[in-house]
A and B are shown apart, each in its own frame.
Chain A
Amino acid sequence: MMNETYILGIETSCDETAVAIIKNGRETISNVVASQIESHKRFGGVVPEIASRHHVEQITLVLEEAFKEAGLSWDDIDAIAVTEGPGLVGALLIGVNAAKALAFAKNKPLVGVHHIAGHIYANRLEEEFQFPLLALIVSGGHTELVLMRDHGQYEVIGETRDDAAGEAYDKVARMLSLPYPGGPHIDRLAAKGEENIEFPRAWLEEGSFDFSFSGLKSAVINKIHNAKQKGEPLKEEDIAASFQASVIDVLVTKTVKAAQQYHVKQVIVAGGVAANKGLRQELEAKFSETDIPLLIPPLRLCTDNAAMIAAAGTINFEQGKRSGLALNANPSLLLR
């Protein structure tokens, strides 16, 4: 008979205070997210100090809600998983210290989880993994291609050398005076616009799966500046469409190439930008031409949550990985 494993997950790496309970790494028993987005909107972006202040106000409330929603007691919980990095250090510290207090008070094993591993494992809540597997992670802070040959094994084969795709979105959105967070607004505008401006695509050197978006970002900013100076009309929709086309072209092309080169059995997309409709459509179109199955999680699992941390933490737990009470937040934790 298979034992049932219940893992409590905690995620506070940016601006969501989240707690979830996951059964056997795949079944969501409860998933509570307290978002701070409304509070940060007035500042035009996430303010780390404000984020930390909200986390400390929310953490026990969210914990309580997660238990209530699950209808479980502490006896049912096998371990506590928490995001130890990367992220905003002050924000991470709240989750890490709460997790340590729980592990101590309830005498439960503690497992530190990499935030990106969490984003990848969000997909396993929908479908079982097939290895080797390629994950494309695109979010406000990350643009990465990760190869997995087995559970809990991560090989970063490509990453951004400057800005994350999400950062470029936010910057362009600000240039177009769109409200924060800008990503969804650009996506919406792009759908109405025409791709009629030639923006650069950074392919980097032959065979590289790395990304670079700072050149594109500057090109878009210059275009808007020049047009303004000369008094030329520029359609926001077209800028959005042309910018997005450049980002998506590079992301999708490199993902397809990597998937073929490593003969993967599955490609999964993770991170907040995975919610982008334009990206989804293009990925679906390109992968339908191959025989590699593509997995894109539902929107609610794309943004930061704790279910994904508990899901990734389940693997760490099963593989015997443990963190001690001296676990610390690590804002620049590497995925490995």
Chain B
Amino acid sequence: MYILAIDTSNQALGVALLRDNELVGEIVTNIAKNHSIRLMPAVDYLMREVNITPEQLDKIVVAKGPGSYTGVRIGLTTAKTLAWSLNIPIVGVSSLEALAYRAKFSNAIICPFFDARRGLVYTGLYEIKDGNMVLVDKERNILFSEWLDHLVEKKKKVVFLSPDIEKHTELIQSKLEDYAEIPKMAYHIAKPSDLALAASDKEIDDTHTLTPNYLRLAEAEVNWIKTQKEKQNG
């Protein structure tokens, strides 16, 4: 079974091809360059390199966010259209969960996060239980300082993973002190092959209704809801 995994949800662009649980090939770049231009050529290149044609694919796995709205949509649109046109199943995996896999041999609580600007982050908590990655505290969009206060209360070791880790290391260490564990830089970039592994025990999504995991309403919607409430109260 050939699985194509795609991740363009954050700065890194990742494409991987697996035969069952075995890695056939993988491309990851971690540079600020246009995903829309580069995704399809990367898939094309990888598949040519390993001599696999689109018809040989059996499953598509995609990182569905959170992350850059545009990046998430580029990956999801490409993955959904591939799955639909090739008539094969698709599985969407949270970008946070994919990142959490970088600490899959850790006994600590795993806290993947993405910077969401203005002090906010997209985050959640994962843990390895009986060899499986399990979400133990739901994904959310939250002020990072507030989130760290919440983590301190757990009084347990937490591994932090984020492509934006450098910006936040100081705050993490000041709040969590010895409870914080921060691996070397290279561990903070999600691997698309992990994405494919994460999907292996997940149910197939409906291709048409699979939507991004934004974790946040569009700003126009937030404002609209606010004015509706004001109207009701006023």
Which of A's residues lie within 8 Å of B, judged by CB?
A: 42-43, 47, 49-50, 52-53, 55-57, 59-61, 63-64, 74, 90, 93-94, 96-98, 100-102, 104-107, 324-329
Contact = CB atoms under 8 A, between A and B. Distances in A.
Interface string B71-113: 0011011111110111000000000000000000000000000
Given A43-B224, A106-B85, A100 B78 contact: yes
A98 B36 CA distance: 11
B183 interface: no
Chain B binding surface, main DSSP class: helix
B70 A52 contact: yes
Given A55-B73, A97-B78, 12 more contacts: A49-B218, A57-B211, A60-B207, A93-B36, A93-B70, A93-B73, A97-B39, A97-B81, A98-B78, A101-B40, A101-B81, A105-B81
25 contacts: A42-B224, A43-B220, A47-B218, A49-B218, A52-B70, A53-B73, A56-B80, A56-B212, A57-B209, A59-B80, A63-B81, A93-B73, A96-B36, A97-B36, A97-B40, A97-B73, A97-B77, A98-B80, A101-B77, A101-B81, A104-B82, A325-B41, A326-B37, A326-B38, A327-B37
Contact of A328 (B36, B84, B86, B218): B36
B172 interface: no
B84 to A, nearest CB: 4
Contacts of A327: 37
B14 to A, nearest CB: 16
B69 to A, nearest CB: 7
Nearest to A99: B81
B37 A102 contact: no
A98 B77 contact: yes
Contacts of A106: 54, 85
A101 B78 contact: yes
Contacts of B169: none
Contacts of B224: 42-43
Nearest to A110: B40
Contact of B77 (A50, A56, A107, A325): A56
A145 B88 CA distance: 46
A329 B81 contact: no
Given A57-B211, A329-B36, A90 B78 contact: no
A52 B38 CA distance: 20
Interface string B41-52: 101100000000
B166 interface: no
A49 B79 CA distance: 20
Interface in B189-213: 207-209, 211-212
A136 B70 CA distance: 34
A63 B84 contact: yes
A308 B79 CA distance: 26
Most chain B C-beta atoms within 10 Å of own C-beta, residue among A49, A64, A107, A328:
A49
B218 A53 contact: yes
Given A60-B207, A60-B208, A106-B85, A325 B221 contact: no
A100 B84 contact: no
B82 A105 contact: yes
Contact of B219 (A49, A101, A325): A49
